[in-house]
Amino acid sequence: MTLQKNSKSIYVTRPLLPSLSKITKRLEAVWKSGQVTNNGDAHKQLKEQLKQYLEVENLSLFANGTMALIAGIKSLNLTGEVITTPFTFPATVEALEWNGLTPVFCDIEPRSLTIDVSKIEALITDKTSAILAVHVFGNPCDVEALDRIAKKHNVKVIYDGAHAFGMYVNGKPIGQYGDMTMFSFHATKLFQTIEGGALTYRSQSTEETLSQIKNFGLNDDGEVVLNGLNGKLNEMQAVVGIETLLLVPEERKKRQQIKEWYEQQLLSVPGIRILTLAEESYSSYQYFAIEIDENIYGMSRDALLEELAKENIFARKYFYPLCSSFRWYRDLLSAKTEQLPYANAAVKRVLVLPFYGDLAQEDIFRICNILKESCHAQVGERL
């Protein structure tokens, strides 16, 4: 592959970074206090601000999203099997395994790429204790249906909302659905604390258990009462979070505009389907994903990825490979390709395009032109 030497590199995302001087100013206070981790003032402040922003009553902060998910699942005392999606980042499934649970893969719904609720009940056995669903690229799962299934079968619902910060479904904040939702604050997320994450949850009594899990299993008397870990978010992360949260409304506006530009350019391109469905105030504006139908578009997703890379544009094929195809999971009964037709199709077609507030309009048009030209070239050749 020959890379263009003259054009600047464009990545799938760039971190939303507050000005360094604002961070330094806040860090001066942290340094002065001498409290740099273990539930310091910045941690407390960020926690309250996020409860307000996400409109939830219960929230705990963690060192990263994966740790939050591991701790959250542990706090629910689940056993046996958990139904989940193969079309996700490995962290989702790994969090189950860390809790000694067996993942049972369920296929996805082709429009939203989220777990197909119509296929869940057939997978429920007397060993099933929960459903772990993912709001993929900020497309919400069918939360109402999941709620109904969970009640009927007396199982818990956990959401991996790594991509769902600030999202709403039917006017209700996403963190209010299910028993628990995990948010990732990784540098690549719209709201970021470099590394970081949070759990929101229904039951207030869960807070104490989560505090113990993320602090070595210790209770207030210094007694180990469960098998804990170190999952604490520190004061530097919290300071970055406090300043980043102030930038989120403006960043959302910029991403809304970018989404519109992409849509204007790409809606009429044959063989391209836009997958980021949630609109305006309901969206998390986390990723902008498209699907390439090779038969119509005339070029495979992978070949298109290379065309973009030749121009120093680094789109990504999230999530690839499918979790059920990893060597670690592929021997599971539920991992069989024929049982996961839509997930196995999506993994060959989905492309996540560069999407962040500082992306210039000319760069978006440049990306869209490559997408259009790659399609027309093939159509032309076929005629």
Tokens of 121: 């009940």
For ligand T4K, which is the closer residue by CB, 135 or 252? 135
CA 235/CA 42 separation, integer angstroms = 6
Burial of 293: CB neighbours in 10 Å, binned 0-12, 13-18, 19+: middle
Q: Does 99 bind ligand T4K (CB under 6 A)?
A: no
Decide: is 12 part of the binding site for ligand T4K (CB under 6 A): yes
Residue 158 host element (H or E): strand 156-160
For position 11 contacting ligand T4K by CB under 6 A, the verdict is yes
Closer residue to ligand T4K (CB): 37 or 219: 37
96 binds ligand T4K (CB under 6 A): no
Please, which of residues 302-321 interact with ligand T4K by CB under 6 A? 314, 318
CB closest to ligand T4K, residue no: 65
Binders of ligand T4K: how many residues, by CB under 6 A? 23
Under the phi-then-psi rule, with left for phi > 0, alpha for psi from -120 to 50, and beta for the rest, what region is 174?
Answer: alpha
Residue 343 found at the interface with ligand T4K (CB under 6 A): no
- Beta strands (DSSP E) in 149-277 are 156-160, 168-169, 172-173, 180-184, 197-201, 272-274
Which residue in the set 93, 101, 149, 162 belongs to the binding site for ligand T4K (CB under 6 A)?
162
Q: How far are the Cα atoms of 283, 344, 346 from residue 87, in angstroms, in the given order?
A: 20, 9, 8
- CB of residue 217 to ligand T4K, shortest distance in Å: 21
Closest CA to 325 of 342, 308, 340: 340
Among 15, 80, 110, 217, binds ligand T4K (CB under 6 A): 15
| Residue 356 interacting with ligand T4K (CB under 6 A) | no
* Packing angle of the helix pair 20-33, 235-266 (nearest 10 deg): 160
Q: Which is nearer to ligand T4K, 323 or 371 (CB)?
A: 323
Shortest separation between residue 375's beta carbon and ligand T4K, angstroms: 25
Strand partners, 273: 291
User: Counting contacts by CB under 6 A, is residue 130 touching ligand T4K?
Assistant: no
Number of C-beta neighbours around residue 160 at 10 A:
30
Using the structure block, give the residue that is written with the tokens 């299934």: 149
Span near ligand T4K by CB under 6 A; candidates 7-15, 48-56, 146-154, 220-228: 7-15
Cβ distance to ligand T4K smaller for residue 72 or 298: 72
Rounded to 10 degrees, the C-alpha dihedral 140/141/142/147 comes to -120
Q: Does 187 bind ligand T4K (CB under 6 A)?
A: yes
Question: How many angstroms separate the Cα of 171 from the Cα of each of 59, 271, 316?
Answer: 20, 32, 31
Q: Which of 10, 91, 106, 343 binds ligand T4K (CB under 6 A)?
A: 91
Torsion of CA 236, 239, 241, 246, to 10 degrees: -160
**Is residue 297 part of the contact set for ligand T4K (CB under 6 A)?**
no
For position 66 contacting ligand T4K by CB under 6 A, the verdict is: yes
65 forms part of the interface with ligand T4K (CB under 6 A) = yes
Instruction: Select 160 or 298, whichever has its Cβ closest to ligand T4K.
Output: 160
134 is a contact residue toward ligand T4K (CB under 6 A): yes
Decide if 69 contacts 178 (C-beta within 8 A): no
Binding to ligand T4K by CB under 6 A, coded x per residue (else -) over 191-230, reads ------x---------------------------------
Length of the chain: 383
Does 14 contact ligand T4K by CB under 6 A? Answer: yes
SS3 330: coil
Q: Which amino acid is at 113?
A: L
Q: Which residues bind ligand T4K (CB under 6 A)?
A: 11-15, 64-66, 88-89, 91-92, 134, 160, 162-163, 184, 186-188, 197, 314, 318
